[in-house]
């Protein structure tokens, strides 16, 4: 045929339709996108499974996963079937179609449009509501496990006389079922009403009856189900009154029944339950009567009754019965709240003792002697001296210490326990010479060694280290020093493969190592590598040559993170602390079981209650709460995390806690018995800070046991703000070995002070025996100061420190140049009826940019001292020297022995050279590595001098005899 012109010859391409090649490409891209999303989901699931298996807690993963899946499918399917059935039923009950009105003619278009897709539309709607309902139900896995595994408390509430387990374990699950039922009823009602409307069963503008008999019966049954569920809600609300929170003017936050609840709301809920049952029956009766007249009247009466009986009547009772005589009406219920709250928080055995607040001894020599015995006063503040540890013991820039160090007990050479400030030399990637993927994840993988110092001594303002240097050496003996798991280790490392790791450096140069632990997940498998490449968004994991046979990936490396992961039903204390146990470094983590369903016990917010001046500046010390609002708490579990292997162990601590027993039934084999705790580990367990902070907050009001006193509010205390800084947050509690008036010897304790509400003078002093394994562990003692006299509180003591002319002048001199003052922990110690306050004062500045202990503030009975050493300050306050001849644990400079021994002279000459080398290092840069080496040489030389002098003295003694 002749060419008609106008374009190229060949196959025609339809306008707007892509070519076969483009369609194939689009299909391929779509398939790849789906596969990519599927593999991403698989990677998250697979890496979680591998991690739980690596820590030997795979049962936690399988139990939580199977529970979530089971709840998802059961409740998702129930919701889908309920909605789908009602849509199908409404469609089946549709009337014969007759387009007799404009309304029906308009709906005809929609009916015809969806007719070919009715089955698919039904499937889509039911699938959507099923997915949403299933996802909501799966989040209730904790509620389900607690309900199905719940054990009794063997304690009954005072109102309904039901076991506490009903409120803690059963009621939350019943409320979830009720909420699910309401959601299902409402969705079914909406779906059925729309279907009836679409197919003519319901009419809005058409003449005649508004609903067919079939539609009336169907919707009435659904409304009857909804009202029946409301009846169940009214019945459960009766029990909910026992755990209901409300704002009570007399006491603030309140949980449990008050007079108006017991005498108005409780009978009102019972009456409304009966009315709702009758109303539901009236709705069901429309199946026979086919009219909504009676059920609508019944529903209106139920709503009116809810307003009058459930709202107006209680308000009348409160106004005319309670308010005119509130104290007498509320006292019986307050008494129940007092008892339940004290039991739920473990403060029911707190011993309150009257304390004079003034000394009863006139003998100053005796007082000075008693001051030595009253406490091992810790002048090394673990929250101040971290920079000092950093500068003197960091050794390399890629090591670091936490902002807040920890206090523990370690035996001295004479086997006596002493308070010790301890920290780990952890990995600090910010100090790596060159940051890149290999260095950050393969070469610099771990910290090295413990650094510890005496809490009660200082040497020329510096800590007296009992464990020091790199590798660490000192009093702790031999132990595995490598730290692969720590508080500052928040990134992954790949170890054990062809790439060697930097171990540590000494005078002979850099040492390398290769991880030999069994921790982490093996990356030999290419599937594992691909999964982690996706999970960590790091493609180099898939193809890097630094990964080979034996390579393992370590992650989730902070102690709190690991414990929270293996026990997601626990609340984790904010302060994990290290200890050398059985020749290994173990992180010790305190964990709590909680509930907010303890009847009559007032609720508290963990995030607020455990906040203090330390958590304000260090978020890592905040509690990890599974449930922020609680009204029951127990320190039920002590957990350990091995710093080298990452092994997590959970130990049952509170053997009577029903909440822990419930979770142990849900996750069998995850918690080891208390008998498995070794003696070595027991020596380092202590009373946890966050539990103590929760208890002290409750004791500001619940230290009284008399309802009338509680209602007046005259005995309300408060936790004072930290006077040593301007954060405006509560003073943190302090660990201290001390002796309370009823004790014969010092005990490792946790202590705090209270002031009257709105005032600064001292109202009480509280301690708890913190040393595990002792008979008095957990015993709370409160010394209550008299209200007739005024005893200075922490803020007033600090103010007097700062305002005394001589002290202010001395502090001004210390601040000379570019120096700055830092106040350490203000320690309070009961002493012979009075209170001894001690506060170390640090100076930071000059050539050294880290704090040095330079002064000690002491006050007792209005007498104040500001001296170079603790001993001198105590001597000045009491006006006499200590009668003991032992070397006082103070801040004085250690003086070299005076002798004519040649060995001692040589050692002293070496010490002088080391001191001069250190001073020169400070001027040059400063060069911290050289300074640290000089300090090490200085300590070694002084130690040699001391040993030589002791030997010379012994020889001299023998010759004389």
Confidence (pLDDT) at 20 = 76
Rounded (5°) CA angle 902-908-912: 145
As a whole number of angstroms, the distance between CA 675 and CA 203 comes to: 73
Percent of the chain with pLDDT over 90: 53
Q: Could you give the CA distance from residue 835 to residue 837 in angstroms, rounded to a whole number? A: 6
C-alpha distance across the termini of the chain, in Å:
139
Tokens 């009001």 belong to residue: 701
In tens, the pLDDT along 790-834 reads 888 889 888 888 888 888 888 888 777 677 888 999 999 999 999
Q: Report, as an integer, the average pLDDT of 533-561.
A: 92
Q: For the residues 128-134, what does the mean pLDDT come to?
A: 95
Chain-centroid distance, C-alpha 281: 50
Q: What pLDDT score does 887 carry?
A: 40
Instruction: Say which residues have a Cβ less than 8 Å from residue 463's Cβ, sequence separation at least 6.
Output: 380, 385, 388, 389, 392, 421, 453, 454
Helices (H), 816-894: 870-878
Residues near 213 by beta carbon (within 8 Å), at least 6 away in sequence: 290
What's the sign of the alpha-carbon dihedral 472, 477, 480, 484? negative
Does the structure show a pLDDT above 70 at 464?
A: yes
The model's confidence at residue 923, banded by pLDDT at 50, 70 and 90, is: low
Six-digit token string for 839: 């506060």
- Percentage of the residues of the chain whose pLDDT score is greater than 70: 88
What is the per-residue pLDDT for 848? 65
Q: Is the pLDDT of residue 556 over 60?
A: yes
Separation between Cα atoms, residue 231 and residue 299, nearest integer Å: 12
Q: How far apart are alpha carbons 530 and 730 in whole angstroms?
A: 49
Place of tokens 């019986």: 332
Residue 901: C-alpha distances to residues 41, 714, 940, 945 (Å): 76, 70, 18, 9
- State residue 531's pLDDT score: 92
Confidence band of 904 (pLDDT split at 50, 70, 90): low
Label the pairing between strands 399-400 and 426-427. antiparallel
**Could you give phi then psi for residue 252, rounded to 5 degrees?**
85, -130
Report d(CA 468, CA 119) in Å as an integer.
76
Neighbours of 920 (CB within 10 A): 14
At residue 960, the pLDDT reads: 41
Contact 211, 203 (CB under 8 A): yes
Q: How far apart are CA 102 and CA 107, in angstroms?
A: 9
Average pLDDT, the chain: 86
Contact by Cβ (8 Å): 405, 386: yes
Rounded Cα distance, 233 and 182, in Å: 10
Q: What integer is the mean pLDDT of 617-628?
A: 81
Q: How far apart are CA 923 and CA 938, in angstroms?
A: 18
Closest CA to 529 of 540, 518, 514: 540
Cα–Cα nearest to 659, from 725, 713, 591: 591
User: Distance between CA atoms of 661 and 653, rounded to whole angstroms?
Assistant: 11
Q: Rounded distance, CA 602 to CA 206, Å?
A: 58
Over the stretch 652-668, which tens digit does the pLDDT of each residue have? 999 999 999 999 999 99
Q: What is the CA radius of gyration of the chain?
A: 36
What is the pLDDT at residue 895?
37
At 484 the pLDDT is 96
Q: What is the pLDDT of residue 443?
A: 94
pTM, two decimals, is 0.85
pLDDT of 900 reads 42
What contacts 957, CB < 8 A, 6 or more positions away? none
Report angle CA 96, 102, 104 to the nearest 5 degrees.
Answer: 25
Could you read off the pLDDT of 680-712 as tens digits, one per residue? Answer: 999 999 999 999 999 999 999 999 999 988 988
Distance, in Å, from the CA atom of 314 to the CA atom of 641, rounded to the nearest integer, reads 54
Q: Which residue has the tokens 């209650």?
A: 609
pLDDT, residue 5, reads 39
Spatial distance between the Cα atoms of 750 and 765, rounded to a whole number of angstroms: 11
Longest dimension (CA), the chain: 140
Express each pLDDT in 135-177 by its tens digit.
Answer: 999 999 999 999 999 999 999 999 999 999 999 999 999 999 9
Q: For residue 618, what pLDDT band results from cuts at 50, 70 and 90? A: confident
- pLDDT band, residue 3 (cuts 50/70/90): very low
Whether the upstream peptide bond of residue 926 has omega within 30° of 0, thus cis, is yes
């Amino acid at each position: 045929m002749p060419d008609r012109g106008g374009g190229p010859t060949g196959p025609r391409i339809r306008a707007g339709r892509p070519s076969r090649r483009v369609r194939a490409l689009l299909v391929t891209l779509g398939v790849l996108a789906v596969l990519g999303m599927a593999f991403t989901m698989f990677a998250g699931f697979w890496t979680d499974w591998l991690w739980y298996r690596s820590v030997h807690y795979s049962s936690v993963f399988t139990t939580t996963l199977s529970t979530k899946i089971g709840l998802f499918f059961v409740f998702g399917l129930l919701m889908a079937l309920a909605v789908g059935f009602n849509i199908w039923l409404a469609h089946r009950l549709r009337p014969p179609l007759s387009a007799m009105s404009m309304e029906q003619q308009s709906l005809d278009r929609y009916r015809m449009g969806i007719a070919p897709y009715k089955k698919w539309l039904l499937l889509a709607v039911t699938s959507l509501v099923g997915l949403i309902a299933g996802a909501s139900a799966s989040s209730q896995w904790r509620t389900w496990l607690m309900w199905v595994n719940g054990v009794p408390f063997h304690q009954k509430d005072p109102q309904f006389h039901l076991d506490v387990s009903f409120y803690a374990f059963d009621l939350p699950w019943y409320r979830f079922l009720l909420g699910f039922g309401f959601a299902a009823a409402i969705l079914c009602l909406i779906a059925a009403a729309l279907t009836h409307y679409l197919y003519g069963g319901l009419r809005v503008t058409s003449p005649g009856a508004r609903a067919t008999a079939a539609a009336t019966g169907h919707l009435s049954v659904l409304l009857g189900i909804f009202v029946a569920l409301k009846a169940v809600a009214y019945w459960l609300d009766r029990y909910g009154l026992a755990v209901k929170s409300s704002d009570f003017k007399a006491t603030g936050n309140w949980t449990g029944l008050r007079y108006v609840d017991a005498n108005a709301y409780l009978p009102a809920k019972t009456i409304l339950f009966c009315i709702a049952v009758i109303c539901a029956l009236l709705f069901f009766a429309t199946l026979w009567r086919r009219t909504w007249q009676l059920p609508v009247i019944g529903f209106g009466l139920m709503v009116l009754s809810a307003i009058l009986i459930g709202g107006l009547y209680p308000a009348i009772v409160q106004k005319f019965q309670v308010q005119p005589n509130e104290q007498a009406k509320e006292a019986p219920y307050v008494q129940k709240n007092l008892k339940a709250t004290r039991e739920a928080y473990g403060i029911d055995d707190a011993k309150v003792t009257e304390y004079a607040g003034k000394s009863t001894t006139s003998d100053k020599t005796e007082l000075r002697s008693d001051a030595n015995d009253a406490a091992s006063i810790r002048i090394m503040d673990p929250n101040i001296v971290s920079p000092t540890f950093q500068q003197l013991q960091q050794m390399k820039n890629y090591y670091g210490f936490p902002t807040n160090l920890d206090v523990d007990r370690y035996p001295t050479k004479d086997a006596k326990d002493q308070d010790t400030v301890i920290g780990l030399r952890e990995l600090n990637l910010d100090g790596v010479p060159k940051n890149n993927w290999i260095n950050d994840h393969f070469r610099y993988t771990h910290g090295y060694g413990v650094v510890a110092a005496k809490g009660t001594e200082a040497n020329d303002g510096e800590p007296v280290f009992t464990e020091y240097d790199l590798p660490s050496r000192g009093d702790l003996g031999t132990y595995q020093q490598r730290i692969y798991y720590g508080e500052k280790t928040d990134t992954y490392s790949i170890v054990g493969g062809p790439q060697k790791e930097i171990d540590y450096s000494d005078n002979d140069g850099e040492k390398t190592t290769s991880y030999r632990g069994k921790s982490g997940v093996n990356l030999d498998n290419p599937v594992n590598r691909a999964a982690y490449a996706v999970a960590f968004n790091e493609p180099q994991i898939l193809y890097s040559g630094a990964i080979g046979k034996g390579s393992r990936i370590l992650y989730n490396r902070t102690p709190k993170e690991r414990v929270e992961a293996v026990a997601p039903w626990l609340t984790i204390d904010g302060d994990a602390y290290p200890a050398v146990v059985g020749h290994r470094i173990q992180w010790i983590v305190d964990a709590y079981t909680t509930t907010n369903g303890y009847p009559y016990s007032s609720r508290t917010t963990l995030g607020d209650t455990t906040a203090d001046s330390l958590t304000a500046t260090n978020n890592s010390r905040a509690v990890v709460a599974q449930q922020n609002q609680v009204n029951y708490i127990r320190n039920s579990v002590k957990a350990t995390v091995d710093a080298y292997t990452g092994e997590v162990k959970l130990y049952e601590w509170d053997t009577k806690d029903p909440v822990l027993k419930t979770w142990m039934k849900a996750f069998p084999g995850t918690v080891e018995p208390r008998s498995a705790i070794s003696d070595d580990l027991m020596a380092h367990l202590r009373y946890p800070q966050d539990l103590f902070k929760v208890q002290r907050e409750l004791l500001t009001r619940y230290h009284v046991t008399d309802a009338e006193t509680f209602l007046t509010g005259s005995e309300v205390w408060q936790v004072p703000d930290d006077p040593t800084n301007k954060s405006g947050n509560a003073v943190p509690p302090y660990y201290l070995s001390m002796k309370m008036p009823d004790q014969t010897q010092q005990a490792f304790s946790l202590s705090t002070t209270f002031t009257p509400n709105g005032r600064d003078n001292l109202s009480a002093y509280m301690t708890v025996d913190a040393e595990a394994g002792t008979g008095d562990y957990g015993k709370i003692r409160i010394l209550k100061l008299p209200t007739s006299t005024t005893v200075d509180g922490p803020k007033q003591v600090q103010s007097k420190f700062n305002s005394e002319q001589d002290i202010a002048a001395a502090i001004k001199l210390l601040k000379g140049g570019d120096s700055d003052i830092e106040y350490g922990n203000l320690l309070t110690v009961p002493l012979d009826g009075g209170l001894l306050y001690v506060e170390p004062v640090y100076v930071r500045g000059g050539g050294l940019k880290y704090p040095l202990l330079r002064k000690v503030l002491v006050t007792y009975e209005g007498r104040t001292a500001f001296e170079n050493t603790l001993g001198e300050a105590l001597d000045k306050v009491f006006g006499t020297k200590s009668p003991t001849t032992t070397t006082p644990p103070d801040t004085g400079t250690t003086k070299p022995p005076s002798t004519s021994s040649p060995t001692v002279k040589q050692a002293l000459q070496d010490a002088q050279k080391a001191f001069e080398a250190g001073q020169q290092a400070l001027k040059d840069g400063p060069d911290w590595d050289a300074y640290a080496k000089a300090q090490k040489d200085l300590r070694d030389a002084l130690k040699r001098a001391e040993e030589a002098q002791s030997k010379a003295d012994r020889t001299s003694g023998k010759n004389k005899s």
